[in-house]
Amino acid sequence: MKTINRQGTTRYRLVVGEVGNEQGHVIQTSAYTEHGARVALGRKLAAYGDDGWGRVEVSYHGSDEWGWQRL
């Protein structure tokens, strides 16, 4: 499990959606680690039952302008 936290500049967000919804919903998270973000994703997906999908994305520079990478 890769965790890079350069003085708080690493940010995580979740993208979750229903099966058939290709875009999903972006949810910001206050997680400090990849593990914490994945736990938060599991909690969000529980609301969808068997009809949901999700992923964790990371920004290593803490800024949207640097872009988000899929984990």
Looking at residue 9, its pLDDT comes to 79
Q: Which pLDDT band holds residue 5 (cuts at 50, 70, 90)?
A: very low
How far apart are alpha carbons 47 and 59 in whole angstroms? 26
Q: What is the pLDDT of residues 29-56, one digit of tens each?
A: 989 899 999 999 999 999 988 899 999 9
- Residue 6 maps to a domain: no
User: For the chain, what is the domain count?
Assistant: 1
The answer on pLDDT for 69 being more than 90 is no
Q: What is the percent of the chain with per-residue pLDDT over 70, rounded to a whole number?
A: 82
Looking at residue 35, its pLDDT comes to 96
- Residue 5 maps to a domain: no
- What pTM was computed for the model? 0.77
How far apart are alpha carbons 33 and 20 in whole angstroms? 29
- Residue 46 maps to a domain: yes
How far apart are alpha carbons 2 and 26 in whole angstroms? 22
